Amino acid sequence: MLWKEVQITTTLEAEEAVVNAFYESGAQGVAIQSLQDVLLIQQDPKVNFVDASLLEIDPDASIITGYFSELSNTDEALHLLITRVKALPTFGIDPGDCEMMITEIEEDDWANSWKKFYKPTKVGKAMVIKPTWEEYEATEGEVVINIDPGMAFGTGTHETTQLCAIKLEEYIKPGDVVLDIGCGTGVLSLIAGKLKAKKVVAVDFDTLAVKIAKENTELNNLGDMVEIREGNLLDVIDEVADVIVANILAEAIVELSSIIKPYLKENGIFISSGIIIERLTDVLVALEKENFKLLFVQQMGEWVGVVAQKRA
């Protein structure tokens, strides 16, 4: 059976929106590459080789690769994909020129081609995200998190994940209650669990992401500690947390800022990323409006992480 490999080069700002467009068009899997991803992998002393062509990626671009089965109506799927991407400016998202390249690949190549995008990656100071098919020997002090990303995967090195992971390591204390809003495949929830949080509740509106996050929780023997729920933002949350983390788009963080305080203990910590640098002011204004105390702002590539605290 043949598969179509569709590659779109877009802006960092539009990365998540283009990924969503692929899934909504029927892609069987999606992978994300950026120069920052490659450089983070290259810095790992356990990596002996990085394809030189990957170092030529435009630092302001993100390459999204999706896979479509010949059993589906690929012409219709591609038309829908193009339509959705072209509509992004109406939502205030600049996708750039969106250069597209389409390649046909055989079934055997498909079965392994997407795995080349995903390697063991250090996230934060001590956490290592490892796909289940890769071998990895942890060094002293490292904590390995096993991930089987299925159809909802990226490279595992995205700057926004890094920004959140670093701050989770800094602020989570054993026994804390943690909420992960927009959990995706559950990486940040698993990190919170490994940091000895008493309870972690993770939420995503995407049914596929919820399924995979649940599977990853079981893979890491954290099922008693980490609970995955399907829902939008705080709709399915009853808990009051010590730490809330949200790796989502800036627009959603602005909305979340206005409703989050009842779910956060006094002096509780709100960690957020997914914020493109051009939208940072919007997020900071929203947090100030809700009387949060700003603790930390960090930029990594084109993305920003923000830590705020609920005032007592």
Close Cβ partners of 108 (under 8 Å, ≥ 6 residues apart)? none
**105, 22, 42, 46 alpha-carbon torsion, rounded to 10°:** -70
Residue 114 one-letter amino acid: W
User: Helices 187-194 and 159-171 sit at what angle, rounded to 10 degrees?
Assistant: 20
156 is in an annotated binding site: no
Cα 304 to its chain centre, rounded Å, is: 14
Whole-angstrom CA distances from 18 to 6, 65, 89, 98, 103 are 12, 10, 12, 10, 18
247 is in an annotated binding site: yes
Residue 274 one-letter amino acid: G
Closest CA to 158 of 23, 20, 273: 273
108 is in an annotated binding site: no
In Å, the largest CA–CA distance within the chain is: 61
185 is in an annotated binding site: no
Extract the annotated binding site for S-adenosyl-L-methionine: 161, 182, 204, 247
* Residues annotated within a binding site: 161, 182, 204, 247
